[in-house]
Amino acid sequence: MTAAAAAVPDDPEYARIPDTPAKGTVILLNGTSSSGKSSIARALLDTLDGTWFHVPVDAFHSMRGGTPIADEDLQAEIDRTAKGFHRAVAGMAAAGNNLVVDHSLTRRWRLLDLLGLLEPRNTFLVAVRCPLPELERREKARGDRQPGLAALQYGQVHAHGTHDLDVDTSVLSPQECALRIRDLLRRRPSPTAFERFRRTAPVTG
Ligand SMILES: Nc1ncnc2c1ncn2[C@@H]1O[C@H](COP(=O)(O)OP(=O)(O)OP(=O)(O)O)[C@@H](O)[C@H]1O
């Protein structure tokens, strides 16, 4: 609490929830592990006008306490975290915050869930692509990712097809990808991929 707020605790102004004039824009970076999502997100925060948040699903996984999870409970735990992550993202955007979301749409329900939560006109879906041999090279070089994770996700993350933009991080630097995404935002394609999905996919939530 600020000193000013403490000085006038009964002032009704401090009980008024601030207006949020517009919904935030969401850039949804979708790619496998090691495809370069976080690197692009960092470049975007230095490139885009205004204030943006980098919101990686990994940050939510890393908030979990250290109690061991039984193998048979692991998928439910991951699903619950992803579902909560989607709602946290939607809440931040609804309050007017601009977000770079770093996620892997490995299961179709994740896309369907987000379709029901995010404002489709303000959501831009970017496919972060990279050929599998390069993903495997990066995975090995990093040493902090489960070996084989990228290969497991490779055929899944882009299976739904449409995106607003594709970038290939085996030929573009993170900065070059960020500039293409900045151009996409300036063009503001209409309809967006999310708007097109909304017309054809069952919306949940
Ligand atoms: N455009 C690029 N060109 C070359 N190397 C890259 C590029 N983008 C990322 N890398 C390298 O690939 C590795 C993974 O990058 P990054 O952490 O950005 O991927 P990620 O998709 O966020 O991965 P994860 O989901 O596993 O956290 C890093 O070693 C990074 O330096």
ipTM of this predicted structure: 0.98
Q: Which helix (H) or strand (E) holds 150?
A: helix 149-154
Atom of ligand 1 nearest to the CA of 29: 21
Let me know if residue 31 belongs to a domain: yes
Percentage of residues in the chain having pLDDT higher than 90: 84
CA–centroid distance, 200 to ligand 1, in Å, is: 33
Q: Is residue 16 part of a domain?
A: no
Per-residue pLDDT for 1 more than 80?
no
**Is 38 one of the annotated binding-site residues?**
yes
For the cut 60, the answer to whether the pLDDT of residue 2 exceeds it is no
Listing DSSP states for 18-80 in one string gives: PP--SPPPEEEEE--TTSSHHHHHHHHHHHSSS-EEEEEHHHHHTTS------HHHHHHHHHH
Residue 90 reports pLDDT greater than 60: yes
117 in a structural domain: yes
Q: Structurally, how many domains does the chain consist of?
A: 1
The CATH number of residue 77's host domain is: 3.40.50.300
Q: pLDDT tens digit string along 119-158?
A: 999 999 999 999 999 999 999 999 999 999 999 999 999 9
| 15, part of any domain | no
- Pocket-forming residues, ligand 1, beta carbon under 6 Å: 31, 33-39, 58, 102, 138, 142, 145, 169, 172-174
Residue 169 Cα to ligand 1 middle (Å): 8
